Structure 1
Amino acid sequence: MVDAHADSRTRILDAAEAIVQARGVPALTLESAARDAGISKGGLLYHYASKEALLAAMLGRLAEVMEADFAATLAAQPEGRGRAARALLASALKEPVAACVLQDRAAAVFLAAFHHDPALLDPVRAVFARMRAAIAADGLPPGVGQAIMCATDGLFMVHVFGLYTLTPAELADLRAALERLLETGR
């Protein structure tokens, strides 16, 4: 049985993300989200009573996706020292189209929430705290896991703001350097 409310919520959240990605944070209004989701403003207000509630739901959904992506990537890594750091690296440098879709989605939601109220980022901060805890318990020398996490976060920021684009050769070199860091622990 299809849950019509869940379907409406998904359409609203998808529309809100698409608005921010295509037209920027100022274009996100309850009216624009309702229109782009194909529902009435009253229908949107039934699910999300305010823009803050809509943004909080966007962040909650993104946090769930990020957590699931990390868990799946972590599960795919062999057991042993550096597993969480390898998962972060694999996630950040996975097939470009899949990575870009999640990165673009995350960027849109992060920017919208930060613009409205930085406290709305708390669910994502909690995901990052759990990732950091996994890195800290990873058995790597101090700083190595954090260096991997900072490098992958930096790649995300470079993508988000279009600061520069690494060539495939540069990405391969970066991956090799970070993998050497993981192997040697220095």
Structure 2
Amino acid sequence: MTTQPSQPPARSRVLQAYEDLLINDGPRAATLDAVAAAAGVSKGGLLYHFKSKEALTAGLVEKLGELAEVDFALMAKDPDGCAKYYVRTSVFGGTTFDRTVVAAMRLAQGDDTTVRAAFSKMHERWYQLILGDIGDPAIARAVMLIGDGLYYNAALFGLPAHVGNDAGPDGSVDVQSLLAVVERMGSAPRT
């Protein structure tokens, strides 16, 4: 006898459907009706968990915050340091956190100040962790820009990362070379 894998709870399915619609079709397509249909629940079922589109967005922001807290903890205890962790993990890997970030970014591109505020809070926390690791505000900001650029390129253009020298034949980014740059920046004499 085979067992069917259990489905995630309806609330999780609704949030996942909302993320998928935001990523694939954009905020305009992520109506309550479309989210309910994509989640396989009735509109009443969706409204049981999320009373409005704003509540659905608040649920996404809450999920983003929870996933970010896990990331902050991992970053803080990474043996290579916070700066290298930030760059190394700035390669889009299709993780739950990556997908939630991209979905929220789609909302932040519009007028959603709640999502923008969540991103500002996350960015500030990453910056403080990197600053504590590096000790120089300008270098900490440069590390963040390297990581943000990696993420942007991977998310927007689908450029993969690889370990090797310079760009790969497919335009991929060599993360090891960037980590070496971060190390040189972190050990540069401070003036």
Letter in 2 for 1:109: A
Contact 1:58–1:109, Cα closer than 8 Å, also in 2: yes
What's the offset of the Cα at 1:66?
Answer: 2.2
Letter in 1 for 2:12: T
Residue 126 of structure 1: aligned partner: 121
User: With structure 1 as the length reference, what TM-score do the two structures score?
Assistant: 0.78
Do structure 1's residue 35 and structure 2's residue 37 form an aligned pair? yes
Shift in alpha-carbon separation, 1:166–1:44, aligned structure 2, 3 A? closer
Do structure 1's residue 183 and structure 2's residue 183 form an aligned pair? no
Letter in 2 for 1:7: P
User: With structure 2 as the length reference, what TM-score do the two structures score?
Assistant: 0.76
Structure 1 range deviating more: 65-74 or 149-158:
65-74
Contact 2:36–2:43, Cα closer than 8 Å, also in 1: yes
Distance in 2 separating the partners of 1:59 and 1:185: 40
- What secondary structure, in the 3-state scheme, does the structure 1 residue paired with 2:137 have? coil
Residue 5 of structure 2: aligned partner: none
Contact 1:62–1:124, Cα closer than 8 Å, also in 2: no
- Unpaired stretches in structure 2, ≥5 consecutive residues: 1-7, 168-173
Do structure 1's residue 165 and structure 2's residue 169 form an aligned pair? no
- What secondary structure, in the 3-state scheme, does the structure 1 residue paired with 2:54 have? helix
Alignment of structure 1 residues 86-97 onto 2, 5 Å = 86-93=84-91
Q: Name whichever structure is richer in helix by fraction.
A: 1
Q: Considering Cα pairs closer than 8 Å and 6+ residues apart, tell me whether 1 or 2 has the greater RCO.
A: 1
Distance in 2 separating the partners of 1:145 and 1:123: 20
- Unpaired stretches in structure 1, ≥5 consecutive residues: 1-5
Letter in 2 for 1:119: T
Among candidates 45, 48, 51, match of residue 49 of structure 1: 51
Structure 1 range deviating more: 53-62 or 112-121:
112-121
Residue 3 of structure 1: aligned partner: none
Percent of residue pairs identical: 29
Shift in alpha-carbon separation, 1:104–1:157, aligned structure 2, 3 A? same
Contact 2:60–2:100, Cα closer than 8 Å, also in 1: no
Deviation string, structure 1 residues 106-155 (Cα, Å, up to 9, x no partner): 11222124425133332232222222222233352331111101110121
What's the offset of the Cα at 1:36?
Answer: 1.1
Alignment of structure 1 residues 14-25 onto 2, 5 Å = 14-25=16-27
What's the offset of the Cα at 1:41?
Answer: 0.5
Residue 145 of structure 2: aligned partner: 150
Letter in 2 for 1:152: G
Deviation string, structure 1 residues 132-182 (Cα, Å, up to 9, x no partner): 2222333523311111011101212222332x7366343232232223222
Contact 1:140–1:185, Cα closer than 8 Å, also in 2: no
Residue 58 of structure 1: aligned partner: 60
Letter in 1 for 2:155: V
